[in-house]
Amino acid sequence: MITDSFNRTHTYLRISLTDNCNLRCFYCMPEEEYEFSAASKLMQVDEIIALAKIFVAEGVNKIRLTGGEPLVRKDADKIILALSQLPVSLTLTTNATRLHHFVDVLKEANVQSLNISLDTLQPDKFLLLTRRNQFKEVFDNIQLMLQNNFHVKINVVVMKGLNDMEINDFIEWTKDTPVHVRFIEFMPFSGNKWTSNKVFTWQQILEVVESKYTVTRLQDDQHDTAKKYTVPGHKGTFAVISTMSAPFCEGCNRMRLTADGKMKNCLFSKEETDLLTALRNGENVLPLIQQSISSKAKELGGQFTNDFEHLHAEEIHNRSMITIGG
Ligand code: SAM
Ligand code: SF4
């Protein structure tokens, strides 16, 4: 078991397959001229599987693939199929632009649930937020996944003045469509133009929804990052991921592996542990994993608290989101 000094057992690994992406969401990947990592720096298929097996032998039972955009990687299908042989629940977070190429692979790998990012239901705003004109592909692929009976969660990063006015449009979407919308509070990462006054909090989101709908709270699962709700009669549900105003670190069971093979014990950790180099040198990787987890901070990487209104983004030492893997 991979247990930290606060007695939290870590059973969930997020693996980033690449820091490359075909969209340019400004809150994730700030500069247009950002240089993606060379392929040789990234974990290769056999290295991903070898590292995943070490984690699984220590009790990991859930793996999420992420990025960058995991599905722009040319060997994404091979990785998905190989990981599906492990005794884990396998899932992924994707921008959905390329999902239509992966329906059969995902079915074969027994992937049942997908997190899809979509911050707006307006094509012109999609272009503004992602700097790419691909709203139609994303929306069509969400329908395609629903038709193929995948459980679809929609990640919406809510930013004040940008898309907070669309919250109830997303709720309306859940009326006849079985999508599970998750509103995410805007988080600070290296160079992503975060300021505290752009955060639209859990409380504010609920106020907006409750101004129009009757809302029922749903039971949260043990390690849930999301506070879940439903509007009675709607086919879908909604939830809020309140990282900034009400962090959920107490029940954290998550670890991350960046595409270049560095372990992060928290999304906001300053420290990284280089597992890939150790693996390539034939060293024993497990003690490094255990060391990393034993130094995990109690909350938010030890870098800030829920008093985010006084936080300045430049005080936080971290990578940009696209190089971590959300
Ligand atoms: N490309 C995939 C996608 O967009 O779903 C996977 C990687 S992306 C980094 C993973 C998730 O992180 C997405 O849902 C994205 O919206 C979220 N994210 C990125 N930057 C964020 C930020 N600053 N605050 C909150 N969520 C963020
Ligand atoms: Fe790409 Fe996802 Fe980041 Fe957008 S949020 S730039 S789709 S990795």
Task: Give me the residue spans of the domains in the chain.
Answer: 12-324
Q: Separation of 326 CA from ligand 1 center, angstroms?
A: 5
| Residue whose CA is at the smallest distance from ligand 1 atom 11 | 326
154-176: average pLDDT: 97
Per-residue confidence (pLDDT) for residue 141, from 0 to 100: 98
Q: Is 187 in the pocket of ligand 1 (CB under 6 A)?
A: yes
CATH class held by domain 12-324: alpha beta
Q: Which has the higher per-residue pLDDT, 224 or 1?
A: 1
pLDDT band at 12 (very low <50, low <70, confident <90, very high): very high
Q: What integer pLDDT is reported at residue 223 of this predicted model?
A: 79
Q: What is the pLDDT of residue 32?
A: 58
* Cα 246 to ligand 2 centroid, rounded to whole Å: 24
User: By mean pLDDT, which of 3-12, 108-117, 118-127, 185-194 is the weakest?
Assistant: 185-194
pLDDT of residue 33: 66
Please tell me the distance between residue 21's alpha carbon and the centre of ligand 2 in angstroms. 6
Q: What is the 3-state secondary structure (H, E, C) of the chain?
A: CCECCCCCECCEEEEECCCCCCCCCCCCCCCCCCCCCCHHHCCCHHHHHHHHHHHHHCCCCEEEEECCCHHHCCCHHHHHHHHCCCCCEEEEEECCCCHHHCHHHHHHCCCCEEEEECCCCCHHHHHHHHCCCCHHHHHHHHHHHHHCCCEEEEEEEEECCCCHHHHHHHHHHHHHCCEEEEEEECCCCCCCCCCHHHECCHHHHHHHHHCCCCCEECCCCCCCCEEEEECCCCCCEEEEECCCCCCCHHHCCEEEECCCCEEECCCCCCCCEEHHHHHHCCCCCHHHHHHHHHCCCCCHHHCCCCCHHHCCHHHCCCCCHHHHCC
| The pLDDT of residue 36 is above 90 | no
Please tell me if the CB atom of residue 28 comes closer than 6 angstroms to any atom of ligand 2. Answer: yes
Distance 19 CA to ligand 1 centre (A): 12
